[in-house]
Structure 1
Amino acid sequence: MKQVYLVGGAVRDKHLGYPFHERDWVVVGSTPDDMLTEGFRPVGKDFPVFLHPDTGEEYALARTERKTAPGYSGFTFHTSPDITLEEDLARRDLTINAIAEDENGQVYDPYHGLDDLKAKLLRHVSPAFSEDPVRVLRVARFAARYHHLGFQVADETQQLMTDMVEAGEVGFLVAERVWKELERALTERSPDVFIEVLRQCGALDVIMPEVAALFGVPQRAEHHPEIDCGIHCMMALTQARKLSDDSAVLLATLTHDLGKATTPEDVLPRHIAHEQRSLPLIEQFCERLAIPKRHRELAIAVARDHTNCHRVFELKAKTLLSLLQRLDSFRRPQQLQDFLLCCEADSRGRKGFQERPYPQADYLRQALEVCNKIQARDVMAEGVTGKDIGEALQKKRIHALQAFKDSYTPR
């Protein structure tokens, strides 16, 4: 007899009183042919998942799975009308994701997920958790999502994740899947918790070694009272999340100081030229994780020029114009806005600086406005032609920026 159950995140968040937007269903006692006959549209290559003909919501046939090879894709799936709801729920990652509800609202909770919701614990359903390395990322992401509610990873799950890392399972993760989880985690409420959970189980060393290397590296206490570069990175990420939910802004903030991990020990706690040393590390990071072009370009821009932004009031007019041009501000003004959010987060991501204003951002925005008031047509109206137009435009903008600097007062 066919039975349909609401499963996963919708049930979990309903009981948490947490907002949710998607609903997933599992179908017990049915076959692919039955679903097609009812008008469901098939999707997915690995196992039978169907879209409801009216709502478009996903309905998956109850299934079991068996590990056949390393990595998250090394599974075979089995579907049959004989597979029970409990068997289907057993293959899920966390107890709080293994709760189901039938069409009458009756709850089925064979793995005590409701108890773990009350206890605010992220606990694995069974030892089969260790067969899929993506689950390490998912646990860290859920920790980032629900940290503000008091959720923590259960000790036994934390230990199992550590064991998975030590067994080399996390090394089989493919770039696209890591980036998918990282991108989602960055936009969760507490993205720093995602990084910390991965660090505690050793996965950060495997997945993001450039970030992991920042922890334990000292910097000058007068500029960074928190001292530790990794702690500063997490504090900046926290500030960035308060300012934005754009994963590009958050990634750029996460990676802005990677070069500090390569500072020679005899130079510490100073980090001379860390900006330039960050660039190849960011390129390496983005290449390995197949990170999109926009994210990569913003990360490079922030790493290269965040220090110039912090000291923007000291820059000469010509240098100020060069900075705006290097950031491609005239063609891509939104990139400047994103860059400034990262710089503000970096400045505030320090112990005791969290509430400090960041007037540099408004200064750079006004500088761009000043420059945009002078266009090539203004130069051409004065009879300048050909190759001389660009040079004349530069001179006019530098002159205008000098006047702006001389008369600047904060808004």
Structure 2
Amino acid sequence: MQIFKVGGAVRDRLLGKPVTDVDWVVVGATTEEMLAKGYRPVGADFPVFLHPKSGEEYALARTERKSGRGYGGFTFHASPEVTLEEDLIRRDLTINAMAEDDQQNLTDPYHGQRDLEARVLRHVSPAFAEDPLRVLRVARFAARYAEQGFSIAPETLALMSQLSDSGELEALTAERSWKEISRALMENQPQVFIEVLRECGALKVLMPEVNALFGVPQPEIHHPEIDSGIHTLSVLEQSALHKQPLTVRWACLLHDLGKGLTPEEEWPRHIAHEHKGLKLIKAVNARFKAPKDCQELALLVGQYHTHGHRALELKASTLLELLQSFDVYRRPQRFEEFIAACEMDARGRKGLEQRSYPQADYLRGAATVARGVAVQPLLEKGFKGPELGEALKRERLKALKTYKEASAC
């Protein structure tokens, strides 16, 4: 039995990056031997075990053969005869197909170290084209390592395009797709993920609503970058620069989908794009089974982001309706994330990335004022039930009018 550290742990050590997750491959062992040593089996598809003390994953060396569509369409074979090189060749990229023993002696049959030094993301073998999930994975790695100057090898991009055209992407489950998308959005340059998907033709398959934004103009006076797709990429880039959470980044990606529905004869204006986009946002949310908090924020930002930009001009009654829509009294964090998404939208414009966004503090102040209206005095006056709700609304409106007048001075 031989044990090797593999994949990301080896790659990140060679890059000088912190190693967080460690995976191991065991060569020359059987399931019975692993169980006898106290390893705990996990997973039904192939032999993976948890170390009895560290809890880290140890997988028996295995080969795989395409047997169906999608990410799960593979038959695996694990036995003591499978070599380390045979196990490594089934991996996606050369930089992920390296192994090392406990003395850090490197096994690198597919020249991953050379590609690390050359800053190239390159597939290991033609079998890359058998797994559609790898399109998303490579795009995610491109987003992760863009800052280090990595690019995708032309021949690998060609295979990604081939996969995008094959119909295999449609076989991906929502859960697997979302796992890759959510991880990619949390990278330092998530816009690169979208750019790569678009370049290889995967974006029009996975997110045609986002793909439709490219080539759609906006009024140059408000959007010097003009193109709606480029704007979306810039907003996503700003969300990463400002370390926003996944909910905000997802909302930033989807906030302008309605602009893709505007008839060409109406360009560059996009009247009511906020409401038109809601059905598209719902469709994308459902397609990837996004978490509930991501779904809710994306819809709210899509519907109300222009309200955020016009906050200083809104009537007190409209401002109150906005606050009510977000339930700022019980869910203040969601409104804070809405403000963040609006600010990212405002900054995601060419040459305006550093412009201040006074609407943010104004909206926070309005929420504080509305939350500050006390219920007890109304109860003491005898209000209850629906009448109490109406009285509370009147008091909040009065407070917001005072706040608006004071802010204008």
Smaller-chain TM-score range?
Answer: over 0.9
Match of 1:289 in 2: 288
Q: TM-score of the superposition, structure 1-length normalised?
A: 0.98
Match of 2:77 in 1: 78
Match of 2:252 in 1: 253
Match of 1:63 in 2: 62
Partners of 2:319 and 2:221 lie apart in 1 by: 26
Quick check: 1:26 aligned with 2:25?
Answer: yes
CA contact (8 A) 1:243 1:341 kept: no
Match of 2:38 in 1: 39
Letter in 2 for 1:35: M
Cα shift at 1:330: 1.2
Match of 2:381 in 1: 382
Partners of 1:128 and 1:289 lie apart in 2 by: 26
Q: SS at 2:187's partner residue?
A: coil
Q: Unpaired segments of 5 or more residues in structure 1?
A: none
What is the 5 A alignment of 1:134-153?
134-153=133-152
Q: Unpaired segments of 5 or more residues in structure 2?
A: none
Letter in 2 for 1:111: Y
Q: SS at 1:76's partner residue?
A: strand
Quick check: 1:316 aligned with 2:315?
Answer: yes
Deviations 1:21-74 (CA, angstroms, capped at 9, x unpaired): 110000000011100110001001100000001101000000000011121111
CA contact (8 A) 1:376 1:390 kept: no
Letter in 2 for 1:156: E
Partners of 1:254 and 1:387 lie apart in 2 by: 39
Cα shift at 1:382: 3.3
CA contact (8 A) 2:274 2:302 kept: yes
Match of 2:159 in 1: 160
Partners of 1:375 and 1:58 lie apart in 2 by: 55
Match of 1:52 in 2: 51
Letter in 1 for 2:103: N
What is the 5 A alignment of 1:2-401?
2-401=1-400
Partners of 1:382 and 1:399 lie apart in 2 by: 18
Q: SS at 1:78's partner residue?
A: strand
CA contact (8 A) 1:236 1:348 kept: yes
Deviations 1:282-316 (CA, angstroms, capped at 9, x unpaired): 11111111112111110000000000010000111
Cα shift at 1:377: 1.3
Letter in 2 for 1:188: E
Partners of 2:274 and 2:160 lie apart in 1 by: 34
Compared CA separation, residues 245 and 360, structure 1 to 2 (3 A): closer
Partners of 2:408 and 2:266 lie apart in 1 by: 38
CA contact (8 A) 2:328 2:371 kept: no
Q: SS at 1:124's partner residue?
A: coil
Which shifted more, 174-183 or 138-147?
174-183
Deviations 1:145-198 (CA, angstroms, capped at 9, x unpaired): 000010010111001111111222222212111111101100011100000101
Compared CA separation, residues 387 and 328, structure 1 to 2 (3 A): closer
Q: TM-score of the superposition, structure 2-length normalised?
A: 0.98
Quick check: 1:406 aligned with 2:405?
Answer: yes
Partners of 1:215 and 1:35 lie apart in 2 by: 53
Deviations 1:127-162 (CA, angstroms, capped at 9, x unpaired): 000000000100000000000010010111001111
CA contact (8 A) 1:95 1:122 kept: yes
Cα shift at 1:10: 0.5
Which shifted more, 33-42 or 394-403?
394-403
Aligned residue-pair number: 409
Q: SS at 1:364's partner residue?
A: helix
Partners of 1:375 and 1:89 lie apart in 2 by: 65
Compared CA separation, residues 276 and 34, structure 1 to 2 (3 A): same
Q: SS at 2:276's partner residue?
A: helix
Partners of 2:328 and 2:387 lie apart in 1 by: 22
Compared CA separation, residues 40 and 409, structure 1 to 2 (3 A): farther
CA contact (8 A) 2:219 2:226 kept: yes
Partners of 2:141 and 2:383 lie apart in 1 by: 60
Partners of 1:406 and 1:297 lie apart in 2 by: 32
Partners of 2:321 and 2:374 lie apart in 1 by: 16
Compared CA separation, residues 299 and 68, structure 1 to 2 (3 A): same
Cα shift at 1:409: 7.0
Deviations 1:66-97 (CA, angstroms, capped at 9, x unpaired): 01112111100001111110010000000000
CA contact (8 A) 2:93 2:124 kept: yes
